[in-house]
Amino acid sequence: MLKPIAVLLTCQLIGEALARGLALPVPGPVIGLVLLFLLLLWRGTVADGILDARPQGMLGGTADRILAMLGLLFVPAGVGLIDHLGLVESNLLGFGVVLLASVVVTLTVTVLAFLGVERLMRRGERS
């Protein structure tokens, strides 16, 4: 389990170094994720190897275990929210407007993406 974690952390480290070193506007972990994706495309699924991304493989199994614990990362944010409840109360209207606007934008983008994919699928059926 240590080798797949080392692969994940190395990709993130390289991504962080590239983002900071080149002053890129993209977060380092996102670059690291793209690097991991390219590495997996290059190497493919290697049976019983470190880069086996299948759920029963080394990398896939490790990633599944890490994702299963992802909820723990929300605990500090929840504690911080409760700690600053007075600040939230004083800005409740602003939070409500931002929350409503983000829901509307998310739904709009989702519908537009769905319609775009549907249009591409229809175009592919005609050819």
Query: In this predicted structure, what is the pLDDT of residue 53?
Result: 80
Query: In this predicted structure, what is the pLDDT of residue 48?
Result: 66
Percent of the chain with pLDDT over 90: 63
Q: Phi/psi of residue 23, each to 5°? A: 55, 45
What pTM was estimated for this model as a whole? 0.60
Residues of the chain with pLDDT under 70: 44-48, 127
> What is residue 116's three-state secondary structure?
helix
End-to-end CA distance of the chain, in Å?
47
Two structure tokens written together for 85: 């409840």
Query: In this predicted structure, what is the pLDDT of residue 45?
Result: 62
Q: Report DSSP state, residue 45.
A: P
Alpha helices in 44-84 (DSSP H): 58-68, 74-83
CA distance 34 to 16: 12
CA distance 113 to 105: 12
Query: In this predicted structure, what is the pLDDT of residue 52?
Result: 81
Query: In this predicted structure, what is the pLDDT of residue 44?
Result: 66
Query: In this predicted structure, what is the pLDDT of residue 124?
Result: 77
Amino acid at 126: R
